[in-house]
Amino acid sequence: MLNGKKIVVVLPAYNAEKTLEKTYREIPFDIVDDVILVNDASKDNTVEVATRLGIRHIITHPQNRGYGGNQKSCYNKALELNADVVIMLHPDYQYTPLLIPAMSSIIANDLYPVVFGSRILGKGALKGGMPMYKYIANRALTFSQNVLLGQKLSEYHTGYRAFSGAVLRKVNYEANNDDFIFDNEMIAQIFDAGFEIAEVTCPTKYFDEASSINFKRSMKYGFGVLGVSVCYFLKRLKLYNSPIYQHRN
């Protein structure tokens, strides 16, 4: 716990057997109370590695539900465990677990209800090996999203995120897409519900075992992101209201 708040780390896993142990060993268990791994129908030995490591909460999808569908299972289980702070950490070791105390502290001390680990603040992205085309696309999409959403985030596309339990109980993430666009729909929901997002500088690593989508899927993702942002902009103008903004009480 931290400041009396229960800290739960969720690991949305797909074919993570080669990197899971390295990720898990760096989790700061002096403050982390529980770890949840959701195995999205991996084709490798992810579950066997997780079991050997002693991860208590392992959920396996019999069929692949996608990145968003995986996160839904992660957050549902975390709320079932009465988490006060939920850290979403990729088990591919692209993001360091050593930032968990800093991100958790911001939420546990009621400074901000959501924290993102940003690869763009500082020089972490290019230094860590982010392909130049992805960096340029990230910057262009983020600029467009800031304009359309009326915000000033440095990055919308990081996979390292921390949420207060109150945020997860408020936003209707179950209504979101099961693919990668889930993340950006959730950001729009968070802002629509009146929550603020803090950012911390996050180093990152790009290597063969780190998960990454190919160019074709990146293009699909980019257009999806713009679609979410335009819909939110129209909502701000009171011209359109997507069902995803019907928040829970």
Rounded CA-CA distance 64/70 in Å is 8
- 7-241: in CATH 3.50.50.60: no
Q: Do 115 and 129 touch, CB atoms closer than 8 A?
A: no
With 90 as the cut, is the pLDDT of residue 126 above it?
A: no
pLDDT tens figures, 13-29: 999 999 999 999 999 99
When pLDDT is cut at 50, 70 and 90, the band that residue 207 belongs to is: low
Structure token pair of residue 35: 């770890």
Task: With CA atoms as reference, report the closest residue to 58 among 68, 67, 42, 66.
Answer: 42
pTM of the predicted structure, to 2 decimals: 0.93
Residues shown for the chain: 249
Q: How far from 108 is each of 3, 8, 53, 117, 163, CA to CA, in Å? A: 6, 12, 27, 16, 10
pLDDT tens figures, 167-187: 999 999 999 999 999 999 999
Q: Do 88 and 167 touch, CB atoms closer than 8 A?
A: no
Computed over every residue of the chain, the mean pLDDT equals: 93
